[in-house]
Amino acid sequence: MKLVKAKKLRGTLEVPADKSISHRSIMFGAIAQGTTTVHNFLRAEDCISTLNAFKDLGVQIEDDGEVITIHGQGVAGLKAASHPIDIGNSGTSIRLMMGLLAGSNFETTLFGDESLNKRPMNRVMLPLRAMKADLNGENDTEFPPITIRGVQALSPIHYEMPVASAQVKSAILFAALQAQGMSTIIEKELSRNHTEEMIRQFGGKIDVTDKTITLTGPQQLQGQEVVVPGDISSAAFFLVAGAIVPDSEIHLTNVGMNPTRTGIIEVLKQMGANLTIEEEDQQNQSADVTIRTSNLQGTVIEGDIIPSLIDEIPVIALLATQAHGTTVIKDAQELKVKETNRIDATANELRKMGADITATDDGLIINGPTKLHGATVSSLGDHRIGMMLQVAALLTQDDVELELPEAVAISYPAFFEDVKSLTLEGSD
């Protein structure tokens, strides 16, 4: 696929709904009592995988194209699927469902596509086994397919997280909601907190003090109305595009501004981006953001900010190729177990386009600014790598050919069309 180029970008976009909240809205609605309605649900492949998985588990879910309606009957209302459940490419789905199904009274097998089936699950399996959950990967490995044999007597856990991972934390929290007694999770670094917030939203009780989370189970949740804000991970591609493409101004509406997710905003400010935030809605944690072409400076990105921008690091690396000086990204080992090894994928694909970028054990070193040129590049089946490469292509005069562009539909089916709309508006 030939990627879009641009002399400038202008216009207004509402980015797709938040992927993390969309996943969790289905899960919480499925295990709550009563009706849950979800507005602005992300109808991308990963989230549809979650929705279909819970239909397979006997949950009545309706979608009229505008609102998702979930008729929950509690965890006890889930029923054994008649076949192994296909999760597609969704790491969020499989990891969170491992915890959610650990306390069921039936057996479930979860599997994914070729990429997902190579992703390790031990970081979830080990703490869940400590809670007396019964789950195994294929041939007793840590890789999918994962078979969960539900046990109705889960034990609480005191667990110090070895890595900062919202997926691992959320899987434990879903199991803790069903366990007998108080569970404590101590985070290594603060990670995105959508699960904690939604436990409260659905009427549950949870205490969060600094990096310590306590929850006493079992708990019964109640159906709610959920309005999903725009996904800052999707917005990040346009924030970077607006900052690095000459003569650009992009206005993004309804961007999710949960403070555990806004590391990309902090890094843009740190690098000197011309960025303004308006129309802040504290209740829904959203705002409008305008980004303009910016004179950027290299920086160091490390430590406790990393979990709040882990999914944005590939496009932040691209941003750094256009900044003056050296940018160093550290403490991002988590990127190695995403859809691809995103450290290596980012470095290898951007180098094909002329970037001065080096992969390290836990991050990247980028020298800028560099002039990018045309090349044949690949998403490697990873949606965020594919979108990052389209933003990079905007800067080139030569053609950029993208292999495996279909991966982008996992989180943002209309991405290429939205990019093109900004180039058309900016073509006068």
Binding site annotation covers 223?
no
Residue 279 CB burial class (10 angstroms; 0-12, 13-18, ≥19): exposed
pLDDT number for residue 94? 97
In the predicted structure, residue 374 carries a pLDDT above the cut 90: yes
Q: Provide the percentage of residues in the chain whose pLDDT is more than 70.
A: 99
pLDDT higher for 339 or 314?
314
Cα separation, 30 vs 105, in Å, equals 16
pLDDT, tens only, 378-394 = 999 999 999 999 999 99
231 flagged as catalytic: no
Domains of the chain listed by start with CATH number? 10-16+229-425 (3.65.10.10), 19-227 (3.65.10.10)
Q: Is 123 annotated as a binding residue?
A: no
Q: Note the pLDDT of residue 152.
A: 81
- The predicted pLDDT at position 427 comes to 53
Residue 149 marked as a ligand binder: no
Q: Is the dihedral of CA 313, 23, 47, 116 positive or negative?
A: positive
CA distance 383 to 417: 15
Establish whether 261 is an annotated binding residue. no
pLDDT in tens, 231-263: 999 999 999 999 999 999 999 999 999 999 999
Q: Per the residue annotation, which of 18, 46, 311, 418 is the catalytic one?
A: 311
Confirm if 372 and 392 have CB atoms less than 8 A apart: yes
Residue 1's pLDDT is 96
292 annotated binding-site participant: no
Whether the predicted pLDDT of 428 surpasses 60: no
- pLDDT, position 425: 64
Contact 321, 369 (CB under 8 A): yes
91 assigned ligand-binding residue: yes
Q: What is the pLDDT of residues 209-233, one digit of tens each?
A: 999 999 999 999 999 999 999 999 9
Taking only the tens place, the pLDDT of each residue in 105-134 is: 999 999 999 989 999 899 999 999 999 999
- Residue 211 annotated as binding site: no
Is 256 annotated as a binding-site member?
no
Whether pLDDT at 300 is above 60? yes
Residue 338 marked ligand-binding? yes
For 279-300, what is the mean pLDDT? 91
Instruction: Determine if residue 129 is labeled as part of a ligand binding site.
Output: no
Residue 402 pLDDT = 98
| Averaged pLDDT, 197-204 | 96
Q: Which of 278-282, 287-291, 423-427 has the lowest mean pLDDT?
A: 423-427
Looking at residue 164, its pLDDT comes to: 87
- Does residue 101 surpass a pLDDT of 60? yes
pLDDT score of 126: 97
pLDDT band at 339 (very low <50, low <70, confident <90, very high): confident
Cβ contacts of 317 within 8 Å, gap of 6 or more: 327, 329, 346, 347, 350, 357, 364, 366, 388
- Please tell me the predicted confidence (pLDDT) of residue 194: 95
* CB-count burial class (<10 Å; 0-12, 13-18, 19+) for 280: exposed
Q: Mean pLDDT across the chain, nearest whole number?
A: 95
Q: Model confidence over 22-64: pLDDT tens digits?
A: 999 999 999 999 999 999 999 999 999 999 999 999 999 999 9
Asked if the peptide bond before residue 405 counts as cis, ω within 30 degrees of 0, the response is: no
Tokens representing residue 9 in the block: 């970008």
311 is annotated as contributing to ligand binding: yes
pLDDT at 299: 98
Question: Residue 337 pLDDT more than 70?
Answer: yes
